[in-house]
């Protein structure tokens, strides 16, 4: 049998992965070009030799270019940065709510006032931002703190008038009374009445209660001239605190001789004032609904409304290559190799078989693609598992366990006998 005369005698792919890479060729082949330091260029170049050896370049041609390896290496770094930043966002989001967000360019590099600060590399102070924001609102509603301004207005009582439209009265005062703290703040906004009180002119009731007076003791006759609230026993501190908190309300209710009810900001006094000598003024404490839009900053100081509100606005940029340690770099090498396998599988998948004289060769495209995607999933899961085990709450639990274990060890150490 004669040997066939092939024309051309042999062919080879013009794109064959070289044995080593070159740092000078890296930047021109990157899709993003985010990293450009000498350390990155050297790392990407070294990845070519690693890929060449792992894919059997010493035995078989590898239908890849240097650029395929360099772009896979860049993508692997970006994937690593994404997973690390996602992990850190879980750790710090609560404490960073309301903080400055910064701005980013198309590559994810931070710009503006936070540029160059490397926020993703910093260990944040914990201030429980979310809990604090919620507690401020609760404190406002409960009437013992918060950040919402509470205003006070004086309303003139009218003899024989029982009903007062507080919305109309306070709106008019807001428009015309330049000395009021709420001047031009109400307009058409609804007021929310927090407290109505009247300071009685009968000053002795402050000390003796409305049953008491000089030579009158109320129910506690054996203790001398003291109010009904007076006691002569040792009580816990918390009880004194509760009494102090209730004392102001007691002055404005028990000793006022007046009570009230409110419906839709219409106040009705009980009993009806019979004379302006009985009551001249009463006071209203109120807040203004919608005074501050929930999406706008307060004019009383920065409150974080325009700051971080979810993981998308955290000022985390791509992790600088110089700050990735040996653990991270080895993960990146392995992930970049898996990405390169996927590219090679796509290339070999263009033709599933290649004809040769008297036979055909089946390429391993399907095996490469399956292997590459499996390796990528395993590497992601490996890193996620490590990161999940090192969240701040898990570290605190580990410290607690270590402390308990140390305590048990110390408890079993015999105490020395002191000889004096």
Q: Are 351 and 342 in contact (CB under 8 A)?
A: no
Query: How is residue 5 annotated by DSSP?
Result: -
Same-domain status, 176 and 118: no
| 3-state secondary structure string across 309-336 | CCHHHCCCCCCCHHHCCHHHHHHHHHHH
pLDDT tens-digit map of 153-203: 999 888 889 999 999 999 999 999 999 999 999 988 999 998 888 765 454
Q: Degrees (nearest 5) of the Cα angle 284, 288, 294?
A: 150
User: Is the residue at 232 inside a domain?
Assistant: yes
User: Is the residue at 57 inside a domain?
Assistant: yes
Give the number of C-alpha atoms closer than 13 A to the C-alpha of residue 360, restricted to the C-beta side. 7
Same-domain status, 210 and 150: yes
Same-domain status, 153 and 276: yes
pLDDT tens-digit map of 297-354: 666 666 667 788 888 888 888 999 999 999 999 999 999 999 999 999 999 988 777 7
User: Is the residue at 138 inside a domain?
Assistant: no
pTM: 0.68
Same-domain status, 148 and 94: no
pLDDT tens-digit map of 374-395: 999 999 999 999 999 999 889 9
Same-domain status, 400 and 365: yes
The pLDDT of residue 74 is 97
Same-domain status, 284 and 202: yes
Same-domain status, 265 and 392: no
Count Cβ neighbours within 10 Å for each residue of 309-331 and write b for 16 or more, e otherwise: beeebbbbbbbebeebeeebbeb
Same-domain status, 152 and 100: no
Same-domain status, 118 and 156: no
User: Is the residue at 332 inside a domain?
Assistant: yes
Same-domain status, 234 and 370: no
Q: Could you tell me the pLDDT band of residue 99, with boundaries at 50, 70 and 90?
A: confident
pLDDT tens-digit map of 243-258: 766 666 665 555 556 7
The pLDDT of residue 295 is 65
φ, ψ for residue 62 (rounded to 5)?
A: -110, 115
Domain end among 253, 288, 323: 288
Give the residue numbers spanning the domain of 108.
Answer: 23-124+314-407
Give the chain's domain count.
2
- Cross-strand bridge partners of residue 361: 354
């Amino acid at each position: 049998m004669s040997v066939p005369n092939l024309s051309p005698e042999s062919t080879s792919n013009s794109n064959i992965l070289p044995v080593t890479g070159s740092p000078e060729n890296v930047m021109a082949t990157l899709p993003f070009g985010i990293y450009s330091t000498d350390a990155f260029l050297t790392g990407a170049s070294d990845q070519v030799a690693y890929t060449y050896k792992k894919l059997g370049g010493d035995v078989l041609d590898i239908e890849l270019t240097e650029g395929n390896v360099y772009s896979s290496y860049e993508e692997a770094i970006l994937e690593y940065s994404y997973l690390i930043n996602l992990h850190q966002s879980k750790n710090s989001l609560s404490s960073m709510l309301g903080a400055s967000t910064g701005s980013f360019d198309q590559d994810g590099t931070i710009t503006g006032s936070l540029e160059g600060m490397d926020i993703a590399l910093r260990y944040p102070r914990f201030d429980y931002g979310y809990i604090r924001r919620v507690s401020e609102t609760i404190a406002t509603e409960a009437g013992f703190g918060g950040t919402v301004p509470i205003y006070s207005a004086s309303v003139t009582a009218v003899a024989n008038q029982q009903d007062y439209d507080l919305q109309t009265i306070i709106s008019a005062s807001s428009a015309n009374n330049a000395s009021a703290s709420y001047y031009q703040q109400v307009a058409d906004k609804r007021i929310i009445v927090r407290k109505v009180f009247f300071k009685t002119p009968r000053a002795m009731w402050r000390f003796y209660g409305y049953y008491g007076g000089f030579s009158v003791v109320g129910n506690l006759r054996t203790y001398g001239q003291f109010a009904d609230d007076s006691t002569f026993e040792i009580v816990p501190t918390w009880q004194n605190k509760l009494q102090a908190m209730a004392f102001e309300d007691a002055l404005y209710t028990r000793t006022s001789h007046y009570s009230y009810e409110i419906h839709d900001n219409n106040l009705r006094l009980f009993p009806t004032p019979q004379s302006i000598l009985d009551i001249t003024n009463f006071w209203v404490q109120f807040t203004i609904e919608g005074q501050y839009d929930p999406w706008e900053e307060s004019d009383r100081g920065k409150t974080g409304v325009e700051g971080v509100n979810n993981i998308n606005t955290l000022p985390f940029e791509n992790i600088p290559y110089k700050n990735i340690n040996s653990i991270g770099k080895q993960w990146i090498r392995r992930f970049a190799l898996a990405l390169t396998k996927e590219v090679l599988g796509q290339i070999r998948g263009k033709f599933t078989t290649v004809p040769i004289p008297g036979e055909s060769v089946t390429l391993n495209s399907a095996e490469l693609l399956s292997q590459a995607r499996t390796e990528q999933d395993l590497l992601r899961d490996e890193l996620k598992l490590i990161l999940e085990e090192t969240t701040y709450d898990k570290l605190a639990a580990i410290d607690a366990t270590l402390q308990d274990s140390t305590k048990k060890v110390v408890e079993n150490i015999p105490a020395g006998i002191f000889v004096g």
